[in-house]
Amino acid sequence: MRFDFVPFFHPGQNIPWTQTLDYMRQQTQLAEDAGFTTVWVTEHHFAHNGYLNAPPNPILVCADLALHSNTIRVGQAPVVLPDWHPLRVAEDIAMLDNMTDGRVDFGVARGIPERASIQFNPEADKRDGDKSFRIMRESLDIILKAWTQVPFSYQGEFYQFPVPGWKEANQFLRPFDGRYYAEDGEYVGMYIHPRPVQQPHPPVWFMSNSPFTFETAGRQGHNVIAMSAPLENLKKCWGAFQTAASERQGRQLKFGEGLGLCIVTFCAETMEEADRLVRPALNHYYEYVSGSQPNPVWLRGQLLGGQELSEKDKEADWFDFLQAHNLAMVGTPEYVCEKLAMFEEEIGLEQIMMLWQFPNFPFEKILRSMELIAEKVMPRFPTSSP
């Protein structure tokens, strides 16, 4: 099994970023020594209250973590593509791939409805889900073409490159290279540099829980990481990917091949300690998250794929609800091993992305959890290379 993680960034607290980055570097070094494959950096903006204070630029932080490590891969979970200019992303990810000598996993998504997107790109307002999804798909198409086509040009619904009408005035460039200029000097083709180290480009990972996205990724040769969801929902997504990817590759993929699961994970010496530490933190976090929803019961139904909730589900606190539906793995190493074995059996899980979204949580407990995972969980599941 492949073990990945998202660094803990102290949600709920606005601590100095010099300190947060130091904590992330410590986690990354520990993970590298333990044999984790990728550290994934999330993206959020304008965190005045500290809750969604993940790095605003995951690509830049990936460069820092790569500088302070030697072998672990660096990924974005995700780059929210509608909020970025696609040519900038193409250049920045390719540069990161060169800076790390090919250690980049490229994670992309449409993003969630929040205050940030419209500040960067009014067209990308997530309240119009269909439009922002089209922008994401077009942006990714542009990035992949920019990496693989020479010369590069593009015309779509939202972007056209090169922008028509610009003519070269630098006489030093005459006679004009016909790949990039028309006879009158109009710019008609582009060259994006640098080119990625990984060929044809870094692996692309969608972050999604939609069967349509899984099917699209499989058909186009990309990978997917899902957020934790009920097993039946995951099986639908896994099946859509397997069918499309098998057809593309001309072979029968194993169920779960090319896929990963992002899930809240925490290990402690005893179940009692894990409960005492994590229950208040998870309850706090999900109360914050559910504040933007009609009511907590509605959000729980969404997390279960829209299914009707039992009275027990409605009355439980968030911690018990998440644990009961395999949306979190919090306990002893033995407990986490049992859950991973269950995911292996049920959905052929080959990759886990561990997440700790615990407000006001002691950092030393995060490190100790990672040590327990390295010492007592990972040896039970032989690691696989990307």
Instruction: Place 384 in a pLDDT band, splitting at 50, 70 and 90.
Output: low
Across residues 339-350, what is the average pLDDT?
98
* pLDDT (tens digit per residue) in 86-109: 999 999 999 999 999 999 999 999
pLDDT of 385 above 70: no
Q: How far apart, in whole angstroms, are the C-alpha atoms of residue 298 and residue 38? A: 33
| Cis, peptide link before residue 78, omega less than 30° from 0 | yes
pLDDT for 305: 86
pLDDT for 294: 59
User: 241-273: string of b/e by CB count within 10 Å (b at 16+)?
Assistant: bbbbbeeeeeeebebbbbbbbbbbbbbbeeeee
Chain mean pLDDT for the chain:
94
The residues, ordered by sequence, that sit 6+ positions from 284 with a Cβ below 8 Å of its Cβ are 12, 359, 360
Q: Which helix (H) or strand (E) holds 354?
A: strand 351-355
Across residues 170-175, what is the average pLDDT?
91
Instruction: Place 49 in a pLDDT band, splitting at 50, 70 and 90.
Output: confident
Tokens representing 15?
Answer: 């601590």
Instruction: Place 386 in a pLDDT band, splitting at 50, 70 and 90.
Output: low
- CB-CB contact of 239 with 296 (8 Å): no
pLDDT of 292 above 70: no
Across residues 259-280, what is the average pLDDT?
98
| % of the chain exceeding 70 in pLDDT | 98
Across residues 135-159, what is the average pLDDT?
98
pLDDT of 181 above 80: yes
Q: Helical H runs in 108-164?
A: 117-120, 129-148
- In degrees, rounded to 5, the angle at the alpha carbon of residue 54 between the alpha carbons of residues 48 and 56 is 80
Q: Which helix (H) or strand (E) holds 218?
A: helix 211-220
- CB-CB contact of 135 with 124 (8 Å): yes
DSSP sequence for 64-117: HHHHT-SS-EEEES-EEGGGS-HHHHHHHHHHHHHHTTS-EEEEEE---SSSSH
pLDDT for 112: 80
Q: Which residues are paired to 160 by β-bridges?
A: 155
pLDDT for 306: 84
Q: What is the pTM of this model?
A: 0.95
pLDDT for 142: 98
SS3 state of residue 325: coil
Residue in this structure with the two tokens 């333990």, named with its chain if needed: 34
Q: How far apart, in whole angstroms, are the C-alpha atoms of residue 71 and residue 36? A: 10
By mean pLDDT, which of 121-130, 296-305, 314-323, 351-360 is the weakest? 296-305
pLDDT for 307: 84
Q: How far apart, in whole angstroms, are the C-alpha atoms of residue 338 and residue 332? A: 10
Name the CATH architecture for the domain at 2-147+194-269+328-380: Alpha-Beta Barrel (3.20)
* pLDDT (tens digit per residue) in 228-258: 999 999 999 999 999 999 999 999 999 999 9
Tell me how far CA of residue 22 lies from CA of 65, 184, 200, in angstroms: 10, 54, 33
pLDDT of 12 above 90: no
pLDDT for 139: 98
User: What number of CA atoms fall less than 13 Å from residue 60's CA on the CB side?
Assistant: 7
By mean pLDDT, which of 204-218, 233-247, 282-296 is the weakest? 282-296
In 3-state terms the chain splits into helix, strand, coil percentages (rounded to 5) of: 45, 15, 40
Q: How far apart, in whole angstroms, are the C-alpha atoms of residue 62 and residue 74? A: 6
The residues, ordered by sequence, that sit 6+ positions from 129 with a Cβ below 8 Å of its Cβ are 110, 113
Across residues 298-306, what is the average pLDDT?
87
